[in-house]
Amino acid sequence: MIFEGSEGSISIFFRGKLIASKGLKKKNTYEFMVAEANRLIIDGMRHKVPIKEQVKLHYIHLAQSHKWNQKYKSRKDQAVVVLAMLCLLKLKFFSEEDPYNGILIMPQRKEKRIVRT
């Protein structure tokens, strides 16, 4: 299921399967989520968690989420998965051009105007 916000949505793919989706809003934009992912990485470094351990932790989030059925995930679970993928992209574990593992950012769809004559 794809959740759509007022500004669009972000979808996470892992091993070619849609595993999470989150709506984008005016206050919760893509840039805000990237900043949150950066904050997670920095907080881990401040608590002396090695980069390899951080990558392993985020990868486990994605692998476990891949096994769950999509309709049984809460929105909070999906938000954690989105942040985990953004952290892995920031740490260069996945390439942004990878067709099977990555993100898809979709702007809000524009409704068609009906022209009446």
**pLDDT surpassing 90 at residue 47:** yes
- For 114, other C-beta atoms within 10 Å of its C-beta total 5
Per-residue burial over 12-50, b if 16 or more Cβ lie within 10 Å, else e, is: bbbeeeebbbbbbeeebebeebeeebeebbeebeeeeee
Bridge partner residues of 11 (DSSP):
104
**pLDDT score for 32:** 92
9, 13, 12: which is closest to 100 by C-alpha? Answer: 13
Non-local (6+) Cβ contacts of 2 within 8 A are 9, 11, 18, 21
Q: What pTM was computed for the model?
A: 0.82
pLDDT number for residue 72: 66
Q: What pLDDT was estimated at residue 43?
A: 93
Average pLDDT over all residues of the chain: 85
How much is the pLDDT for 41? 92
Give the pLDDT confidence of 55-93 residue by residue, as tens digits.
Answer: 998 888 788 877 766 666 777 888 888 899 999 999 989
Instruction: Select from 24, 28, 20, 16 the least CA-distant residue to 73.
Output: 20
Instruction: Read off the pLDDT of each residue in 5-12 and give the average, rounded to a whole number.
Output: 87
DSSP one-letter code for 71? G
